[in-house]
Structure 1
């Protein structure tokens, strides 16, 4: 169905369309809320490709190699063997089809086996029910709540803190 692979500089053009779509970025990185020009997206993408403290992977369909978007683990602490998982699916045609759960399982496998992490956490907007369900199916457990930590569409909502430990995986 999907596979994780390395992002290439030419993949940036996909992000122009995705970041311009308010529905796609509604629960995503706060940085995406302020990017409005190709130059801003180019600069962010270039930093992403060269970020040594993160594992950044493209999400590709296995049959056509279509880029659906990207996922990975940021803020990797080699000392604490931990990091923060992120997922961004720009191709709306693939929403609700199990991609989030499958990508999350593959990213956890990379984090626990190749990066030798012990703990992977994430934050997710509480209204993002699809995301919460995908993360739960992949093994994440609820740890806590950041009350009214996110402002979208003029309303505050809570962010949920979830994690999974290598021993639980």
Structure 2
């Protein structure tokens, strides 16, 4: 049986299963403090290739994650990673994440396209009832993107993150399938 590599696509991007040859780019992104500062609420500490491999192997081996490469459709080049983690199948709930690692393509709408593909995949193919996410308060571009897509701010972990000796809130957002369908 052949495994389907491309999960979803637009004319500009595709969400695909991550391949070994994509990892060289992912290693670079996970060494980049600027990328890590916005990507996660964990401290932005550069990771070794072995640490990155361990993280992505854990995604592959558990039922609580579904992770993809974001690739430019015309040249088959990986530009980021996206997916779901903390999937609770019994509740049909997942936490969404997106990271555009290639600095040269940020701000061109690929994150928006990836978000729309993830929502379609999550709600239609995986039948999630709810998709949620966490975002740092200083990531205003991501907040704007998520709110335009219909995510509702549901809460705040006050002063949750320490960056450059300053405290920042971690914002919690959620979107229900019924709300998404109305859009």
Aligned residues: 169
Deviation at 1:39, TM superposition (A): 1.8
> Tell me, what secondary structure is at the counterpart of 1:117?
coil
Q: Take 1:159 and 1:31, find their aligned partners in 2: how far apart are those partners?
A: 11
1:66 aligned onto 2:77: yes
After the TM superposition, which segments of 4 or more aligned residues of structure 1 sit over 3 Å from their partners?
none
Contact 1:3–1:62 (CA under 8 A) maintained in structure 2: yes
After superposition, the Cα gap between the structure-2 partners of 1:31 and 1:7, relative to the gap in structure 1 and judged at 3 Å, is farther
Q: Which residue of 2 aligns with 1:147?
A: 158
Alpha-carbon distance change, 7 to 32 in structure 1, aligned in 2, over 3 angstroms = farther
Q: List gaps (5 residues or longer) in structure 1.
A: none
| 1:51 Cα offset (Å) | 3.0
- The TM-score with structure 1 as length reference comes to 0.93
Residue in structure 2 matched with residue 161 of structure 1 by the alignment: 172
Task: Please state whether the residue corresponding to 1:39 is helix, strand or coil.
Answer: helix
**What CA RMSD, in Å, does the superposition of the two structures yield over aligned residues?**
1.5
Contact 1:98 1:134 in 2 (8 A): no
- Match for residue 125 of structure 1? 136
**TM-score normalised by structure 2 residue count:** 0.86
Matching residue of 1:87: 98
* 1:118-144 residue CA offsets vs partner (Å, 9 max, x unmatched): 110001001001111111122211111
Deviation string 1:79-98 (CA, Å, 9 cap, x unpaired) is 11111111111011121111
